Structure 1
């Protein structure tokens, strides 16, 4: 299959929810929900609700989640 990296990413992610992406990011770095909740200074229950789609994450939360799961190197 050809296409741009964005096209390939779209095919791989088809059918996944935001919560699926958040859970995958957390699991990729080996964090459990409690560890991530502590890093984000939110309740573990909130992490679970975001991952299951019971709550919709706002952009600032997604950005904070990404930094907690994948901190910038060299800092």
Structure 2
């Protein structure tokens, strides 16, 4: 099966569901989005916007390694 995501105005929901009801449950399954999906999508959209507008902070592999080493040593004691 394939999955698509639809965004629509609330006033047409009944029409969309009526159209989709023409399909069997083997052909079509309606999946509700959960709060975690929406939260993750918002975080990713914000990160992407930072990349596009040039405000994102990027690290080299060496910088990342140094940050991780400091973090690990902080919690080892």
Would you say same fold, with TM above 0.5? no
Max Rg structure:
2
Q: Give the TM-score range, shorter chain.
A: under 0.3
Answer 1 or 2: which has greater helix percent. 1
Q: TM-score, normalised by structure 1?
A: 0.24
The structure with higher relative contact order (CA 8 Å, sep 6+) is 1
Q: TM-score, normalised by structure 2?
A: 0.24
